[in-house]
Homo-oligomer: A and B are copies of this chain.
Amino acid sequence: MFDRGRRGKKILNREFIQKLEGISGVENVKTSTASRLSYSYDATAGFQSMPDLIISPRNTSEVSQIVKSCNEQDVPIVPRGSGTNLAAGTTPTNGGVVILFNNMDQVVELDEENLTLTVEPGVLTETVHGYVENRGLFYPPDPSSGKISTIGGNISENSGGLRGLKYGVTKDYVLALEAVLPNGDIIYTGGKLAKDVAGYDLKSLLIGSEGTLAIVTQATLKLIPKPPSKQTMVVIYKSMEEAAEAVSAILANRIIPATLEFMDQETIRVVEDYKQIGLPTDCEALLLIEQDGPEAVVANDIEKINEICQRFGAVSITRAANEQEAESLRRARKDALSCLAQLTPTTILEDATVPRSEIATMVRAITETAEKYNVRIQTFGHAGDGNLHPTCVTDERNKEEIKRVEEAFAEIFQIAVDLGGTITGEHGVGEMKSSYLEWKIGREGIELMKSIKKAIDPNNIMNPGKMFAKSTKKRVVVSR
């Protein structure tokens, strides 16, 4: 299937390209160097690999034909949404065909009686939010990339977001999937059903499988009534421990806030440097807390949260009087990544996750690890669900520093796992974290996952080079 190219690299042969053009139309197949370059990387620093061809099928049948053709000829396939992946999950590691969903981006059906929305995979997350909220409904999963990410990408990665603690993640809102298997078979799993136990849960197996098992071609999402009101506050603490204790106390008091976000001192400093919004740079922690629901419940919860935050020594508590003020409070947290990204040429955003009881321990450990390896790591993230985003500002051209960054992150993953956490809470394993996966799930877990992969995709055409590494990184002894 591959001819030798002029520069010694294998490229798809003309016959195969024509076959794909025949399936989706010449206008939907691209092989120019410019096009291939555009899809050679995603949002992950330090990973790039050229695909051979980019194709934009117009419907499920075309996806099936493309996959079947690739499977017959062992051509790798990389399904790709908007490429916002942060773990090199959408880089064409082994070349091959990138499948885009820009021609499959329609809302198919809103079912107000069953509270479901059926969409094609190319629909933007933000489009779904706007579409349903205009009708008094709510689709809770809100990955930070939601303005440009697609629902297909969210499903492949089981995306989380700021509302995970109270509302759950993408998986909790997918009721049914249509998907194409590596052999071209089209399967339908789930339904507009609150309960369905007909066989294995294929739907959950595909969600978060990072394009390594099948290609999602349609999804039916669960909607819930839109919460009628919302309140927002920002709380500042001198010490990390006080902030962590306040977070624990809020939850121990049986209050589950809609948002419970955290920024460490380094992040506060950088945001204040760039935005000059009056953040206290001598404080170790900022919490952004929001509650939504019926007005009386929200008022009551926010009052209790206020009292708890004071009890644990808050330096300041700012409550938004209206949506405009709320948005300006959210700003600091929302701007964290973009401010950090301005510091240096390369930003590496990680998502080590721990049980929420371990947040203070984990944040301290991250700071100490950064010092140990002499790298700059700031931490912000979702305090309520223990999903932290230690973020390293570095320069990928500085090989020596990058080596230290990698060592620091390896140690951070190891500490997270030792605390009962995971190497990735919402970003996925991709190519980047594949050599750490065994630390979380063990050799037995890896073997089990590989056996499933092999059973479903015997020719390993689906996003090869992701999730499973050739070898597992050795764990070092962490002295703490």
> CB within 8 Å of B: which residues of A?
111-115, 136-137, 157-158, 160, 164-165, 168-169, 171-172, 181, 185-189, 191-202, 204-205, 207-209, 213, 224-226, 248, 251-252, 254-256, 293-294, 296-297, 300, 353-357, 382, 384-387, 420-429, 437, 440-442, 444-449, 451-456, 467
Interchain Cβ contacts under 8 Å between A and B, 13 examples? A114-B355, A187-B444, A193-B354, A196-B422, A197-B208, A197-B424, A197-B429, A199-B445, A224-B256, A294-B296, A296-B296, A297-B297, A452-B452
Considering the chains assembled together, what is the distance between the CA atoms of A455 and B449 in angstroms? Answer: 10
Which listed residue (B171, B194, B205) contacts A200, Cβ 8 A?
B205
Q: Which residue of B lies closest to A426 (CB)?
A: B195
Distance of A197 from chain B, by nearest CB (Å) = 5
Contact of A195 among B202, B248, B353, B445 (CB under 8 A): B353
* Inter-subunit contact B353/A187 (CB<8 Å): no
* Minimum CB distance partner of A297 in chain B: B294
- What is the minimal beta-carbon distance from A379 to any residue of chain B, in angstroms? 16
* Residues from chain B with Cβ under 8 Å of A202 in the complex: 441, 445, 448-449
Report whether B181 and A444 are in contact in the complex, using a CB–CB cutoff of 8 Å: yes
- B442 contacts A188, CB within 8 Å? yes
Identity of the chain B residue whose Cβ is nearest the Cβ of A214 in the assembled complex: B448
Copies of this protein chain in the complex: 2
A465 CB to closest chain B CB (Å) equals 15
**Chain B: minimal CB distance from A137 (Å):** 8
Docked-complex contact A448 and B185, CB < 8 angstroms: yes
Given the interface pairs A189-B445, A204-B205, A357-B114, the reply to whether A429 lies near B181 with Cβ below 8 Å is: no
Given A357-B114, A422-B191, A444-B181, verify A209-B198 contact (CB < 8 Å): no
Interface centre among A137, A225, A355, A446 (most CB of B within 10 A): A355
- With beta carbons under 8 angstroms apart, the residue of B165, B297, B357, B426 that contacts A113 is B357
Write the nearest CB–CB distance from A244 to chain B, whole angstroms: 11
CA distance A188 to B356 in the complex (A): 19
Q: A454, B452: Cβ atoms under 8 Å?
A: no
Cβ–Cβ < 8 Å partners of A449 in chain B: 199-200, 202
CB of A225 within 8 A of CB of B201, answer no
* Docked complex Cα distance between A160 and B429 (Å): 32
In the complex, A420→B421 CA distance in Å? 39
Q: Contacts of A252 on B, CB cut-off 8 Å?
A: 112-113
Interfacial chain B residues near A111, Cβ < 8 Å: 355, 357
* Chain B residue with the shortest CB-CB distance to A138: B254
Contact A448 B456 (CB under 8 A): yes
B445 touches A188 (CB 8 A): yes
